[in-house]
Amino acid sequence: MENKKLSETLSYTKKSVYALADKEIIDSAMSYAEDYKKYLDSAKTEREAVKASIALAEKYGFTEYRLGDKIAHGDKKYYNNRGKNLFVFSVGEECINNGIRITAAHIDAPRIDLKQCPLYEEGGMGFFKTHYYGGIRKYQWVATPLALHGVIALADGRVIDVNIGEEDSDPIFYINDLLPHLGHKQGRNPLDDAITGEQLNILVGCEPYLEDDEDSVKLNVLRLLNEKYGITESDFLSAELCVVPAAKARDIGFDRSMIGAYGHDDRVCAYPALTALLEATDTKHTTMCILADKEETGSDGSGGMQSELILDIINELAANLGGNSALIRANSKCLSADVSAAFDPNFSDVFEKRNSAMLACGVVFTKFTGARGKSSTNDADAEYIGWLRGILAKDNVFWQAAELGKVDCGGGGTVAKYISKHNIDTIDLGVPVISMHAPYEVISKVDLYEAYRAMLAFYKY
């Protein structure tokens, strides 16, 4: 008995949130998950995530900010960067030089993009050529229902929204795979080579246009696209069309404790980062939630976290509120909100169990990411983690510390290093994911809710 007491006092063990939390917390987690599923289904691309996030922000009284606008204490604003990247900020009463509480999550997800000259016909079938986006395992994307999302920007300035495959009455799209009867040779390939990038062709039709002999299936598809959107083949040149899984977010398990969906990485962090900011009414600091694009391909581009837009916005806050940009950054704190890999007993050999994120054990803090001896990573200061432990304890948030996979088994990066390089205290926090980057990923509802509660505490203190 004395031994048990001593271990309770001295030992640290990860425990299921279900064992630690009150029923009230668990119930709240279940209802929070319902809204999250709706957000997921409305936000399969970064463009759709920006739209869905703006709609949420406007419900809470946030209004659009344009660079150069005046900013005052008490303002609740969002900055829409090209429809693909969003900054949402609430200007607190406290002196801006005391820093900003920043969360940064990404709203792009691995998928398959169309090439600029996509449409062709072969073997009596019409296809789109593609170039995949982000780290996908190609074999997972064949023989599964797919939807087409994106925009076609016309030379006359009009932008056409495309969203086909989400309604039950919509057609869907498909990538052919080989039948097992003829797949013996393919089956002997390593997984990564079984399906190649140039085989990820999207099946879009097989009905010919009978009045023409050449490319008649292709012509028929063009005819239908012209009828529906008024476009011609050259309009693909200025389009961004993305192929994503057609599946909707669903509960998983008899106990409905998990959610299966496309794109948890990283909407499972973007959604709590945003909703916690919108709902944090008791914060004195200025708070900011950044929803970034292009994380899955290295955070480049104008909407990625390597863009200097974050500095432009901090500089504008400084100029309008009588602050000093360098001082603001030095006193700011950031949660780089991105997912971690949940320990998977089916693939236990790539995990080091003591330092892996365990499903349903709470939100995960990751001190460093990177690979091969902590290369290419932010590494959060012990002092910053100590401060975080203090505020999470105040609100009784259930969290765990973890790193992604065994040493030298691989690794990965997040936006953390692109924020900390501005002299901002930064740490990765997020939700453990099963089958990360698969067309259908799995998370635990209580982990999602603890991410939300962690971010509420972060904005507040």
Residues that bind Mn ion (CB under 5 A): 265-266, 338
The 3-state DSSP class for residue 127 equals strand
Nearer to Mn ion, 265 or 450 (CB): 265
Tell me how far, at minimum, the Cβ of 110 lies from Mn ion, in Å: 6
Question: Between 118 and 370, whose beta carbon lies closer to Mn ion?
Answer: 370
Reference 50, options 93, 80, 6; nearest CA is: 80
Q: Which residue lies nearer to Mn ion by CB, 265 or 293?
A: 265
CA gap 148, 224 in Å, rounded: 15
Q: What number of helices (H) and strands (E) belong to the chain?
A: 13, 21
The CB-of-166 to Mn ion minimum distance in angstroms stands at 22
Rg (CA), the chain: 24
What is the bridge-based pairing of β-strands 159-164 and 250-252? Answer: unpaired
Q: Nearer to Mn ion by C-beta: 119 or 363?
A: 363
Rank residues 293 and 316 by Cβ distance to Mn ion and give the closer one.
Answer: 293
Question: What is the C-alpha to C-alpha distance for residues 295 and 87, in angstroms, rounded to an integer?
Answer: 15
Report CA dihedral (44, 364, 344, 269) to the nearest 10 degrees. 0
- Nearest to Mn ion of 125, 350 (CB atom): 350
Q: Shortest approach of Mn ion to residue 322 CB, angstroms? A: 36
Question: Is the bond preceding residue 349 a cis peptide, omega within 30 degrees?
Answer: no
Taking the alpha carbons of 51, 57, 58, 64 in that order, is the dihedral positive or negative? negative
Q: 263 or 323, CB closer to Mn ion?
A: 263
Task: Read off the DSSP letter of residue 263.
Answer: T
Dihedral in degrees, nearest 10, Cα atoms 258, 262, 264, 265? 140
Q: Least Å distance between CB 447 and Mn ion?
A: 15
How many Cα atoms are found within 13 Å in the side-chain-facing hemisphere of 436?
25
Q: Which residue is nearest to Mn ion (CB)?
A: 266
Least CB distance from residue 104 to Mn ion, whole Å?
Answer: 11
- Spatial neighbors of 4 by CB under 8 A, at least 6 apart, are none
**Distance separating alpha carbons of residues 75 and 89, to the nearest angstrom:** 8
- Reduced to 3 states (helix: H, G, I; strand: E, B; else coil), residue 441 is strand
CB of 106 to Mn ion, least distance (A): 6
- 341/355 Cα distance (integer angstroms): 11
Our CB check for Mn ion shows the closer of 75 and 293 to be: 293
Cβ 108 vs Cβ 294: under 8 Å: yes
Task: Report the residue number, 243 or 429, with the smaller CB distance to Mn ion.
Answer: 429
Assess contact for 137 and 438: CB atoms under 8 A. Answer: yes
CB of 111 to Mn ion, least distance (A): 11
Among candidate residues 16, 30, 24, 25, the one with its CA nearest the CA of residue 362: 16
Nearer to Mn ion, 121 or 295 (CB): 295
To the nearest whole angstrom, how small is the minimum distance from the Cβ of residue 438 to Mn ion? 11
Question: In the complex, what is the shortest distance from the CB of residue 430 to Mn ion, in angstroms, rounded to a whole number?
Answer: 8
Q: Which of 69, 72, 76, 64 lies closest to 323 in space, CA to CA?
A: 72
As measured in angstroms, the least distance from the Cβ of 415 to Mn ion is 8
